[in-house]
Amino acid sequence: MDKIYDLIIIGGGAAGLSAGIYAGRAKLDTLIVEKGNGGGQAATTLDIVNYPGVRKTTGPKLMEEMKLQAEDFGVEFLKTEVLDMDLTKDVKDLKTDNGLLRTRAIIIATGASPRALGFKGEQEFKGRGVGYCSTCDGEFFKDLEVLVVGAGYAAAEEAIYLTRFAKKVIVIAREPEFTCAKSIGDKVKANPKIEVRFNTEVIEAKGDELLRSVRLINNITKEEYDYYPPKEDGTFGIFVFVGYEPKTKSFKNHVNMDEYGYIITDENMKTDVKGVYAAGDLRPKSLRQIVTAVADGAIAATDAEKYITEEKERLGIKDIEVKKVLKEEVKKESKIENKAGRSSLLNEALKNQLRPIFEKIERKVILASVVDANNAKSIELKEFILDLVELGENLEAKILNKGEDLAFEKQINADKFPVVALLNDKNEYSGVKFHGVPGGHELNSFVLAIYNYGGPGQAIDQNILKDIKAIDKKVNIKVGVSLSCTYCPDVVVAAQRIAIENPNVETEMIDLSNFEDIKNKYKLMSVPAIIINDKDVYFGAKKINEILDMVNR
Protein backbone atom coordinates (compact mmCIF):
# COMPACT_ATOMS: atom_id res chain seq x y z
CA MET A 1 0.00 0.00 0.00
CA ASP A 2 1.33 3.45 -0.97
CA LYS A 3 2.23 5.79 1.85
CA ILE A 4 -0.37 8.46 2.51
CA TYR A 5 0.97 11.74 3.86
CA ASP A 6 -1.14 13.91 6.10
CA LEU A 7 -0.17 16.98 4.10
CA ILE A 8 1.77 17.73 0.94
CA ILE A 9 2.82 21.32 0.31
CA ILE A 10 3.59 22.15 -3.32
CA GLY A 11 6.18 24.92 -3.37
CA GLY A 12 9.12 25.74 -1.13
CA GLY A 13 8.96 29.53 -0.96
CA ALA A 14 8.00 31.67 2.03
CA ALA A 15 4.36 30.49 2.08
CA GLY A 16 5.24 26.82 1.65
CA LEU A 17 7.99 26.88 4.28
CA SER A 18 5.78 28.72 6.76
CA ALA A 19 3.03 26.15 6.21
CA GLY A 20 5.61 23.41 6.72
CA ILE A 21 6.76 24.86 10.03
CA TYR A 22 3.21 25.07 11.38
CA ALA A 23 2.27 21.64 10.04
CA GLY A 24 5.41 20.01 11.41
CA ARG A 25 4.90 21.59 14.79
CA ALA A 26 1.35 20.18 14.77
CA LYS A 27 2.95 16.73 14.22
CA LEU A 28 1.45 16.26 10.78
CA ASP A 29 3.32 13.88 8.48
CA THR A 30 4.29 16.60 6.02
CA LEU A 31 6.13 16.66 2.70
CA ILE A 32 7.19 19.79 0.81
CA VAL A 33 7.76 19.23 -2.90
CA GLU A 34 9.66 21.79 -4.94
CA LYS A 35 10.84 21.42 -8.53
CA GLY A 36 13.57 24.04 -8.16
CA ASN A 37 15.98 25.02 -5.41
CA GLY A 38 13.30 26.50 -3.19
CA GLY A 39 13.02 29.88 -1.54
CA GLY A 40 10.71 31.36 -4.18
CA GLN A 41 10.98 35.03 -5.08
CA ALA A 42 12.59 35.77 -1.71
CA ALA A 43 15.63 33.71 -2.69
CA THR A 44 16.34 36.20 -5.51
CA THR A 45 16.17 39.21 -3.17
CA LEU A 46 19.44 40.25 -1.58
CA ASP A 47 18.56 42.78 1.13
CA ILE A 48 15.49 42.29 3.33
CA VAL A 49 14.89 45.04 5.87
CA ASN A 50 11.09 44.92 6.33
CA TYR A 51 10.55 41.47 7.81
CA PRO A 52 9.33 41.99 11.41
CA GLY A 53 11.85 41.02 14.06
CA VAL A 54 14.71 40.70 11.58
CA ARG A 55 16.34 44.09 11.16
CA LYS A 56 18.39 43.14 8.13
CA THR A 57 19.12 39.90 6.29
CA THR A 58 19.29 38.45 2.82
CA GLY A 59 16.55 36.53 1.03
CA PRO A 60 18.60 33.33 0.60
CA LYS A 61 19.64 33.38 4.27
CA LEU A 62 16.09 33.92 5.54
CA MET A 63 14.72 31.14 3.33
CA GLU A 64 17.47 28.75 4.42
CA GLU A 65 16.67 29.43 8.07
CA MET A 66 13.00 28.76 7.41
CA LYS A 67 13.83 25.48 5.69
CA LEU A 68 16.03 24.37 8.58
CA GLN A 69 13.26 25.31 11.00
CA ALA A 70 10.78 23.16 9.07
CA GLU A 71 13.26 20.27 9.06
CA ASP A 72 13.65 20.67 12.82
CA PHE A 73 9.94 19.85 13.09
CA GLY A 74 10.34 16.71 11.00
CA VAL A 75 9.11 18.03 7.65
CA GLU A 76 10.40 16.08 4.64
CA PHE A 77 11.55 17.70 1.39
CA LEU A 78 11.47 16.23 -2.11
CA LYS A 79 12.82 17.86 -5.25
CA THR A 80 10.36 16.87 -7.95
CA GLU A 81 7.83 18.32 -10.37
CA VAL A 82 4.09 17.72 -10.15
CA LEU A 83 2.95 16.57 -13.59
CA ASP A 84 -0.71 15.74 -13.00
CA MET A 85 -3.17 15.27 -10.15
CA ASP A 86 -6.47 13.89 -8.97
CA LEU A 87 -7.97 16.07 -6.25
CA THR A 88 -11.49 14.68 -6.41
CA LYS A 89 -11.14 11.95 -3.76
CA ASP A 90 -10.58 11.97 0.00
CA VAL A 91 -6.98 10.88 -0.65
CA LYS A 92 -5.41 13.17 -3.24
CA ASP A 93 -3.04 11.74 -5.87
CA LEU A 94 -0.10 13.70 -7.27
CA LYS A 95 1.75 12.30 -10.26
CA THR A 96 5.35 13.50 -10.22
CA ASP A 97 8.54 12.71 -12.09
CA ASN A 98 9.50 10.77 -8.95
CA GLY A 99 6.36 8.65 -9.02
CA LEU A 100 2.95 8.83 -7.34
CA LEU A 101 2.49 10.77 -4.09
CA ARG A 102 -0.66 10.41 -1.98
CA THR A 103 -1.97 12.76 0.71
CA ARG A 104 -5.06 13.70 2.71
CA ALA A 105 -4.62 17.45 2.17
CA ILE A 106 -2.67 19.76 -0.11
CA ILE A 107 -1.44 23.32 0.19
CA ILE A 108 -0.62 24.91 -3.16
CA ALA A 109 2.16 27.46 -2.67
CA THR A 110 3.86 27.65 -6.06
CA GLY A 111 4.07 31.45 -5.99
CA ALA A 112 4.47 33.72 -8.97
CA SER A 113 7.12 34.61 -11.53
CA PRO A 114 8.15 38.04 -12.88
CA ARG A 115 5.80 39.37 -15.54
CA ALA A 116 7.03 40.60 -18.90
CA LEU A 117 5.85 44.09 -19.84
CA GLY A 118 5.24 43.41 -23.54
CA PHE A 119 7.05 46.31 -25.19
CA LYS A 120 8.54 45.83 -28.65
CA GLY A 121 12.00 44.26 -28.47
CA GLU A 122 11.54 42.88 -24.95
CA GLN A 123 11.78 39.24 -25.96
CA GLU A 124 14.44 39.83 -28.60
CA PHE A 125 16.83 41.37 -26.04
CA LYS A 126 16.00 39.08 -23.12
CA GLY A 127 19.39 37.94 -21.82
CA ARG A 128 21.20 40.56 -23.89
CA GLY A 129 20.21 43.58 -21.85
CA VAL A 130 16.65 42.96 -20.69
CA GLY A 131 16.42 41.16 -17.35
CA TYR A 132 14.05 40.39 -14.49
CA CYS A 133 16.38 39.35 -11.65
CA SER A 134 18.90 41.88 -10.36
CA THR A 135 20.45 39.36 -7.97
CA CYS A 136 21.17 37.01 -10.87
CA ASP A 137 22.21 39.53 -13.51
CA GLY A 138 23.20 42.75 -11.73
CA GLU A 139 26.94 42.05 -11.90
CA PHE A 140 26.79 41.99 -15.72
CA PHE A 141 26.08 45.74 -15.67
CA LYS A 142 29.04 46.88 -13.60
CA ASP A 143 29.88 50.50 -14.47
CA LEU A 144 27.04 50.71 -17.00
CA GLU A 145 23.73 52.56 -16.81
CA VAL A 146 20.52 50.61 -16.22
CA LEU A 147 16.82 51.41 -16.49
CA VAL A 148 14.47 49.95 -13.89
CA VAL A 149 10.86 49.76 -15.08
CA GLY A 150 8.21 49.86 -12.36
CA ALA A 151 6.93 51.86 -9.41
CA GLY A 152 6.19 49.25 -6.74
CA TYR A 153 8.17 47.63 -3.92
CA ALA A 154 10.23 45.42 -6.20
CA ALA A 155 11.21 48.23 -8.57
CA ALA A 156 12.18 50.56 -5.71
CA GLU A 157 14.17 47.98 -3.78
CA GLU A 158 15.91 46.57 -6.84
CA ALA A 159 16.81 50.05 -8.09
CA ILE A 160 18.68 50.63 -4.83
CA TYR A 161 20.34 47.23 -5.08
CA LEU A 162 21.50 47.84 -8.66
CA THR A 163 23.43 50.95 -7.59
CA ARG A 164 26.02 48.49 -6.26
CA PHE A 165 26.94 47.68 -9.85
CA ALA A 166 25.56 50.33 -12.20
CA LYS A 167 27.09 53.77 -12.38
CA LYS A 168 23.58 55.21 -12.79
CA VAL A 169 20.06 53.82 -12.36
CA ILE A 170 17.10 55.44 -14.14
CA VAL A 171 13.67 54.46 -12.80
CA ILE A 172 10.95 54.46 -15.48
CA ALA A 173 7.51 54.61 -13.85
CA ARG A 174 4.23 55.09 -15.70
CA GLU A 175 2.62 56.23 -12.43
CA PRO A 176 2.95 59.81 -11.13
CA GLU A 177 4.48 58.50 -7.87
CA PHE A 178 5.84 55.32 -6.30
CA THR A 179 3.14 52.86 -5.28
CA CYS A 180 5.21 51.33 -2.46
CA ALA A 181 5.69 52.67 1.07
CA LYS A 182 6.63 56.35 1.06
CA SER A 183 9.77 55.66 3.10
CA ILE A 184 11.11 53.35 0.39
CA GLY A 185 10.15 55.74 -2.41
CA ASP A 186 11.86 58.62 -0.59
CA LYS A 187 14.99 56.51 -0.18
CA VAL A 188 15.09 55.93 -3.93
CA LYS A 189 14.66 59.64 -4.67
CA ALA A 190 17.42 60.56 -2.23
CA ASN A 191 19.97 58.19 -3.75
CA PRO A 192 22.50 60.26 -5.78
CA LYS A 193 22.99 57.42 -8.28
CA ILE A 194 19.28 57.17 -9.11
CA GLU A 195 17.20 59.33 -11.46
CA VAL A 196 13.41 58.88 -11.44
CA ARG A 197 11.20 59.60 -14.46
CA PHE A 198 7.51 59.39 -13.52
CA ASN A 199 4.65 59.31 -16.06
CA THR A 200 7.00 57.54 -18.45
CA GLU A 201 6.63 54.28 -20.36
CA VAL A 202 8.80 52.09 -22.57
CA ILE A 203 7.73 51.84 -26.21
CA GLU A 204 10.55 49.90 -27.84
CA ALA A 205 14.02 48.50 -27.10
CA LYS A 206 16.45 48.77 -30.02
CA GLY A 207 19.89 47.44 -30.89
CA ASP A 208 21.84 44.76 -32.69
CA GLU A 209 23.50 42.01 -30.67
CA LEU A 210 23.10 44.16 -27.55
CA LEU A 211 20.79 46.97 -26.44
CA ARG A 212 21.74 50.29 -27.97
CA SER A 213 18.75 52.52 -27.20
CA VAL A 214 15.18 52.56 -25.94
CA ARG A 215 12.19 54.62 -27.07
CA LEU A 216 10.28 56.25 -24.19
CA ILE A 217 7.06 58.26 -23.96
CA ASN A 218 5.75 60.73 -21.41
CA ASN A 219 2.15 59.58 -20.96
CA ILE A 220 1.00 63.06 -19.91
CA THR A 221 2.55 65.22 -22.64
CA LYS A 222 2.71 62.31 -25.17
CA GLU A 223 6.26 63.38 -26.02
CA GLU A 224 8.39 60.52 -27.37
CA TYR A 225 12.17 60.47 -27.13
CA ASP A 226 15.12 58.03 -27.22
CA TYR A 227 17.47 57.13 -24.41
CA TYR A 228 21.03 56.32 -25.46
CA PRO A 229 23.76 55.10 -23.10
CA PRO A 230 27.00 57.10 -22.82
CA LYS A 231 29.16 56.63 -25.92
CA GLU A 232 31.96 55.04 -23.94
CA ASP A 233 29.56 52.33 -22.67
CA GLY A 234 27.87 51.34 -25.91
CA THR A 235 25.14 49.38 -24.15
CA PHE A 236 22.97 49.40 -21.01
CA GLY A 237 20.41 47.30 -19.18
CA ILE A 238 16.65 47.28 -18.69
CA PHE A 239 15.30 45.52 -15.59
CA VAL A 240 11.56 44.96 -15.58
CA PHE A 241 9.74 44.84 -12.21
CA VAL A 242 6.05 45.27 -13.04
CA GLY A 243 4.44 42.55 -10.98
CA TYR A 244 4.14 38.80 -11.26
CA GLU A 245 2.18 36.06 -12.99
CA PRO A 246 0.87 33.26 -10.77
CA LYS A 247 2.49 29.87 -11.43
CA THR A 248 -0.80 28.00 -11.45
CA LYS A 249 -1.15 26.50 -14.95
CA SER A 250 -0.81 22.97 -13.57
CA PHE A 251 -3.89 23.50 -11.41
CA LYS A 252 -6.16 24.83 -14.12
CA ASN A 253 -9.46 22.88 -14.17
CA HIS A 254 -8.61 21.42 -10.76
CA VAL A 255 -9.33 24.44 -8.51
CA ASN A 256 -11.24 27.67 -9.04
CA MET A 257 -9.23 30.61 -10.39
CA ASP A 258 -9.93 34.17 -11.41
CA GLU A 259 -9.46 35.50 -14.94
CA TYR A 260 -5.77 36.19 -14.29
CA GLY A 261 -4.94 32.70 -13.05
CA TYR A 262 -4.89 33.50 -9.33
CA ILE A 263 -6.37 30.76 -7.12
CA ILE A 264 -9.44 31.91 -5.22
CA THR A 265 -9.62 31.07 -1.51
CA ASP A 266 -11.58 32.10 1.55
CA GLU A 267 -10.02 33.74 4.63
CA ASN A 268 -8.77 30.32 5.81
CA MET A 269 -6.98 29.69 2.50
CA LYS A 270 -9.52 27.03 1.46
CA THR A 271 -10.10 26.56 -2.25
CA ASP A 272 -13.35 25.26 -3.69
CA VAL A 273 -11.97 21.70 -3.42
CA LYS A 274 -12.29 19.92 -0.08
CA GLY A 275 -8.88 19.43 1.54
CA VAL A 276 -7.05 21.70 -0.90
CA TYR A 277 -5.64 25.07 0.17
CA ALA A 278 -3.64 27.82 -1.53
CA ALA A 279 -1.20 30.26 0.07
CA GLY A 280 1.11 33.06 -0.96
CA ASP A 281 1.53 35.15 -4.10
CA LEU A 282 -0.72 32.93 -6.23
CA ARG A 283 -3.81 34.32 -4.42
CA PRO A 284 -5.59 37.58 -5.31
CA LYS A 285 -4.29 40.09 -2.75
CA SER A 286 -3.31 43.72 -2.44
CA LEU A 287 0.15 43.15 -0.97
CA ARG A 288 2.63 40.49 -2.07
CA GLN A 289 5.46 40.43 0.43
CA ILE A 290 7.27 37.75 2.44
CA VAL A 291 5.30 38.68 5.54
CA THR A 292 1.93 38.14 3.82
CA ALA A 293 3.09 34.87 2.26
CA VAL A 294 4.22 33.62 5.67
CA ALA A 295 0.84 34.57 7.17
CA ASP A 296 -1.01 32.72 4.40
CA GLY A 297 1.08 29.60 4.98
CA ALA A 298 0.46 29.62 8.71
CA ILE A 299 -3.30 30.03 8.27
CA ALA A 300 -3.49 27.31 5.61
CA ALA A 301 -1.53 24.80 7.71
CA THR A 302 -3.60 25.52 10.83
CA ASP A 303 -6.87 24.97 9.02
CA ALA A 304 -5.50 21.92 7.20
CA GLU A 305 -4.55 20.39 10.55
CA LYS A 306 -8.18 20.68 11.72
CA TYR A 307 -9.42 19.15 8.47
CA ILE A 308 -6.95 16.24 8.61
CA THR A 309 -7.78 15.50 12.24
CA GLU A 310 -11.51 15.42 11.45
CA GLU A 311 -10.90 13.14 8.45
CA LYS A 312 -8.89 10.66 10.50
CA GLU A 313 -11.51 10.62 13.22
CA ARG A 314 -14.22 10.04 10.63
CA LEU A 315 -12.29 7.14 9.13
CA GLY A 316 -11.22 5.71 12.49
CA ILE A 317 -7.51 6.14 11.75
CA LYS A 318 -5.19 6.28 14.74
CA ASP A 319 -1.74 7.78 14.40
CA ILE A 320 1.21 5.64 15.35
CA GLU A 321 3.56 7.64 17.53
CA VAL A 322 6.92 7.79 15.84
CA LYS A 323 9.76 9.58 17.53
CA LYS A 324 11.14 12.21 15.23
CA VAL A 325 14.80 12.91 15.98
CA LEU A 326 15.37 16.62 15.53
CA LYS A 327 18.55 18.06 14.16
CA GLU A 328 19.79 19.19 17.55
CA GLU A 329 19.52 15.60 18.83
CA VAL A 330 21.43 14.36 15.78
CA LYS A 331 24.16 16.86 16.51
CA LYS A 332 24.40 15.67 20.12
CA GLU A 333 24.77 12.06 18.96
CA SER A 334 27.39 12.93 16.36
CA LYS A 335 30.95 12.43 17.57
CA ILE A 336 32.63 13.73 14.44
CA GLU A 337 35.73 15.73 15.26
CA ASN A 338 35.50 19.34 14.16
CA LYS A 339 38.67 19.66 12.10
CA ALA A 340 39.60 22.74 10.14
CA GLY A 341 39.69 21.90 6.44
CA ARG A 342 41.61 23.36 3.53
CA SER A 343 38.59 25.01 1.90
CA SER A 344 36.58 27.80 3.51
CA LEU A 345 33.54 26.64 1.50
CA LEU A 346 33.08 23.50 3.59
CA ASN A 347 32.41 24.09 7.27
CA GLU A 348 31.67 21.19 9.62
CA ALA A 349 27.89 21.70 9.51
CA LEU A 350 27.91 21.47 5.71
CA LYS A 351 30.19 18.44 5.78
CA ASN A 352 27.75 16.70 8.13
CA GLN A 353 24.96 17.34 5.62
CA LEU A 354 26.99 16.02 2.70
CA ARG A 355 28.30 12.81 4.30
CA PRO A 356 24.94 10.94 4.20
CA ILE A 357 24.56 11.85 0.52
CA PHE A 358 28.03 10.66 -0.43
CA GLU A 359 27.55 7.46 1.59
CA LYS A 360 24.91 6.50 -1.00
CA ILE A 361 27.37 6.72 -3.90
CA GLU A 362 27.58 3.21 -5.39
CA ARG A 363 30.48 3.56 -7.83
CA LYS A 364 33.81 5.32 -7.57
CA VAL A 365 33.79 8.92 -8.79
CA ILE A 366 37.13 10.63 -9.43
CA LEU A 367 37.22 14.43 -9.20
CA ALA A 368 40.02 15.34 -11.59
CA SER A 369 41.44 18.84 -11.63
CA VAL A 370 44.25 20.36 -13.63
CA VAL A 371 45.67 23.20 -11.53
CA ASP A 372 47.01 26.43 -12.96
CA ALA A 373 49.40 27.68 -10.27
CA ASN A 374 48.96 31.25 -11.53
CA ASN A 375 45.17 31.13 -11.14
CA ALA A 376 43.89 31.76 -7.59
CA LYS A 377 40.51 30.18 -8.35
CA SER A 378 42.26 27.07 -9.66
CA ILE A 379 44.11 26.68 -6.37
CA GLU A 380 40.90 27.33 -4.42
CA LEU A 381 39.15 24.60 -6.43
CA LYS A 382 41.94 22.12 -5.67
CA GLU A 383 41.56 22.73 -1.92
CA PHE A 384 37.79 22.32 -2.17
CA ILE A 385 38.16 18.98 -3.98
CA LEU A 386 40.68 17.62 -1.49
CA ASP A 387 38.30 18.42 1.38
CA LEU A 388 35.24 17.06 -0.44
CA VAL A 389 36.64 13.63 -1.27
CA GLU A 390 37.21 12.96 2.43
CA LEU A 391 33.43 12.84 2.90
CA GLY A 392 32.79 9.62 0.94
CA GLU A 393 34.56 6.27 0.50
CA ASN A 394 33.76 6.22 -3.22
CA LEU A 395 35.17 9.69 -3.86
CA GLU A 396 38.73 10.17 -5.03
CA ALA A 397 40.79 13.17 -6.09
CA LYS A 398 43.13 13.35 -9.07
CA ILE A 399 45.16 16.55 -9.02
CA LEU A 400 47.61 17.45 -11.77
CA ASN A 401 49.54 20.62 -12.46
CA LYS A 402 48.97 22.40 -15.75
CA GLY A 403 51.35 20.99 -18.35
CA GLU A 404 52.11 17.86 -16.30
CA ASP A 405 50.01 15.51 -18.44
CA LEU A 406 48.99 17.06 -21.76
CA ALA A 407 47.24 13.90 -22.91
CA PHE A 408 44.97 14.00 -19.89
CA GLU A 409 44.29 17.72 -20.37
CA LYS A 410 43.21 16.92 -23.92
CA GLN A 411 41.05 14.03 -22.68
CA ILE A 412 38.93 16.34 -20.47
CA ASN A 413 39.27 19.36 -22.77
CA ALA A 414 40.94 21.45 -20.07
CA ASP A 415 40.90 24.66 -22.07
CA LYS A 416 39.77 26.97 -19.25
CA PHE A 417 40.85 27.30 -15.63
CA PRO A 418 39.76 26.51 -12.98
CA VAL A 419 38.55 23.08 -14.12
CA VAL A 420 37.35 19.87 -12.50
CA ALA A 421 35.95 16.88 -14.41
CA LEU A 422 34.17 13.74 -13.22
CA LEU A 423 35.79 10.40 -14.10
CA ASN A 424 34.90 6.79 -13.36
CA ASP A 425 37.15 4.15 -11.77
CA LYS A 426 38.74 3.48 -15.19
CA ASN A 427 39.71 7.15 -15.53
CA GLU A 428 37.14 7.58 -18.29
CA TYR A 429 35.73 11.09 -18.72
CA SER A 430 32.02 11.43 -17.93
CA GLY A 431 31.47 14.50 -20.08
CA VAL A 432 30.70 16.55 -16.95
CA LYS A 433 32.97 19.47 -16.19
CA PHE A 434 32.93 22.53 -13.93
CA HIS A 435 34.86 25.68 -14.76
CA GLY A 436 34.61 27.52 -11.47
CA VAL A 437 34.60 26.89 -7.74
CA PRO A 438 31.14 25.41 -7.03
CA GLY A 439 30.13 27.67 -4.17
CA GLY A 440 26.83 29.44 -3.67
CA HIS A 441 23.91 27.74 -5.36
CA GLU A 442 26.22 25.73 -7.63
CA LEU A 443 27.30 23.52 -4.74
CA ASN A 444 23.91 21.84 -5.23
CA SER A 445 24.58 21.10 -8.89
CA PHE A 446 28.08 19.81 -8.09
CA VAL A 447 26.80 17.41 -5.44
CA LEU A 448 23.98 16.23 -7.71
CA ALA A 449 26.43 15.66 -10.57
CA ILE A 450 28.40 13.28 -8.33
CA TYR A 451 25.21 11.64 -7.06
CA ASN A 452 23.78 11.15 -10.56
CA TYR A 453 27.09 9.87 -11.96
CA GLY A 454 28.05 7.58 -9.08
CA GLY A 455 24.51 6.38 -8.39
CA PRO A 456 21.86 5.79 -7.34
CA GLY A 457 20.96 9.08 -9.03
CA GLN A 458 17.75 11.05 -9.25
CA ALA A 459 14.72 9.45 -10.87
CA ILE A 460 14.33 10.24 -14.56
CA ASP A 461 11.38 9.77 -16.87
CA GLN A 462 11.98 6.77 -19.13
CA ASN A 463 10.78 8.61 -22.24
CA ILE A 464 13.27 11.41 -21.56
CA LEU A 465 16.02 8.86 -20.95
CA LYS A 466 15.19 7.24 -24.29
CA ASP A 467 15.48 10.64 -26.02
CA ILE A 468 18.86 11.25 -24.36
CA LYS A 469 20.20 7.87 -25.46
CA ALA A 470 19.08 8.60 -29.02
CA ILE A 471 21.54 11.52 -29.48
CA ASP A 472 23.99 10.20 -32.10
CA LYS A 473 26.16 13.26 -32.70
CA LYS A 474 28.83 15.07 -30.73
CA VAL A 475 27.31 17.87 -28.65
CA ASN A 476 28.88 20.44 -26.35
CA ILE A 477 26.63 22.27 -23.89
CA LYS A 478 27.98 25.23 -21.95
CA VAL A 479 25.84 26.62 -19.13
CA GLY A 480 26.91 30.10 -18.08
CA VAL A 481 26.00 30.86 -14.48
CA SER A 482 26.51 33.26 -11.62
CA LEU A 483 26.83 31.78 -8.14
CA SER A 484 24.02 34.02 -6.85
CA CYS A 485 21.53 32.76 -9.46
CA THR A 486 18.81 30.52 -8.01
CA TYR A 487 17.63 29.35 -11.44
CA CYS A 488 21.05 28.24 -12.72
CA PRO A 489 21.64 24.99 -10.75
CA ASP A 490 18.54 23.28 -12.18
CA VAL A 491 19.71 24.04 -15.72
CA VAL A 492 23.22 22.80 -14.91
CA VAL A 493 21.88 19.55 -13.39
CA ALA A 494 19.57 18.92 -16.36
CA ALA A 495 22.29 19.55 -18.96
CA GLN A 496 24.82 17.44 -17.08
CA ARG A 497 22.35 14.59 -16.74
CA ILE A 498 22.26 14.46 -20.55
CA ALA A 499 26.06 14.16 -20.61
CA ILE A 500 26.05 11.47 -17.91
CA GLU A 501 23.58 9.34 -19.87
CA ASN A 502 25.13 9.80 -23.33
CA PRO A 503 28.90 9.69 -24.11
CA ASN A 504 28.35 11.88 -27.18
CA VAL A 505 27.51 14.86 -24.96
CA GLU A 506 29.79 17.10 -22.92
CA THR A 507 28.34 19.65 -20.49
CA GLU A 508 30.34 22.45 -18.87
CA MET A 509 29.27 24.68 -15.99
CA ILE A 510 30.99 28.03 -16.45
CA ASP A 511 31.07 30.64 -13.70
CA LEU A 512 30.95 33.71 -15.94
CA SER A 513 32.53 35.94 -13.28
CA ASN A 514 35.82 34.19 -14.13
CA PHE A 515 35.48 34.31 -17.91
CA GLU A 516 35.02 37.80 -19.29
CA ASP A 517 36.06 36.56 -22.75
CA ILE A 518 33.11 34.14 -22.92
CA LYS A 519 30.67 36.84 -21.78
CA ASN A 520 31.93 39.15 -24.49
CA LYS A 521 32.13 36.51 -27.23
CA TYR A 522 28.52 35.41 -26.84
CA LYS A 523 27.17 38.80 -25.67
CA LEU A 524 25.90 37.32 -22.39
CA MET A 525 24.16 39.72 -20.00
CA SER A 526 21.90 37.28 -18.17
CA VAL A 527 22.02 33.84 -16.62
CA PRO A 528 21.44 31.00 -16.97
CA ALA A 529 22.83 31.12 -20.50
CA ILE A 530 22.95 27.90 -22.55
CA ILE A 531 25.37 27.66 -25.47
CA ILE A 532 24.99 24.69 -27.81
CA ASN A 533 28.07 23.70 -29.85
CA ASP A 534 29.59 27.17 -29.40
CA LYS A 535 26.94 28.59 -31.72
CA ASP A 536 23.34 28.76 -30.54
CA VAL A 537 22.59 30.73 -27.35
CA TYR A 538 19.49 30.44 -25.16
CA PHE A 539 18.58 32.20 -21.92
CA GLY A 540 16.44 31.41 -18.91
CA ALA A 541 15.42 28.45 -16.79
CA LYS A 542 15.01 25.37 -18.97
CA LYS A 543 13.88 21.83 -18.22
CA ILE A 544 15.73 18.76 -19.48
CA ASN A 545 13.23 18.17 -22.30
CA GLU A 546 13.66 21.79 -23.45
CA ILE A 547 17.44 21.39 -23.53
CA LEU A 548 17.01 18.21 -25.56
CA ASP A 549 14.91 20.18 -28.05
CA MET A 550 17.76 22.71 -28.36
CA VAL A 551 20.29 19.92 -28.94
CA ASN A 552 18.15 18.31 -31.65
CA ARG A 553 17.43 21.47 -33.62
Q: Annotated catalytic sites, by residue?
A: 133, 136-137
Closest C-alpha among 42, 54, 261 to residue 154: 42
C-alpha count within 13 angstroms, C-beta hemisphere, residue 475? 29
Contact 179, 156 (CB under 8 A): no
How far from the centroid of its chain's Cα atoms is residue 489's Cα? 7
Peptide bond into 456 cis (omega under 30): yes
In 3-state terms the chain splits into helix, strand, coil percentages (rounded to 5) of 30, 25, 40
DSSP-derived 3-state class of residue 204? strand
How many other C-beta atoms are found inside a 10 Å radius of the C-beta of residue 78? 14
Kindly give, in sequence order, each residue whose CB lies less than 8 Å from that of residue 468, ignoring residues fewer than 6 positions away.
497, 498, 501, 502, 505, 548
Helices (H), 334-441: 348-358, 376-388, 406-411
Spatial separation of the C-alpha atoms in residues 352 and 117, rounded to whole Å: 45
Spatial CA neighbour of 214 closest among 201, 227, 223, 230: 227
Contacts 24+ apart (CB under 8 A), 463-469: 464/544, 464/545, 464/548, 465/501, 467/545, 467/548, 468/497, 468/498, 468/501, 468/502, 468/505, 468/548, 469/501, 469/502
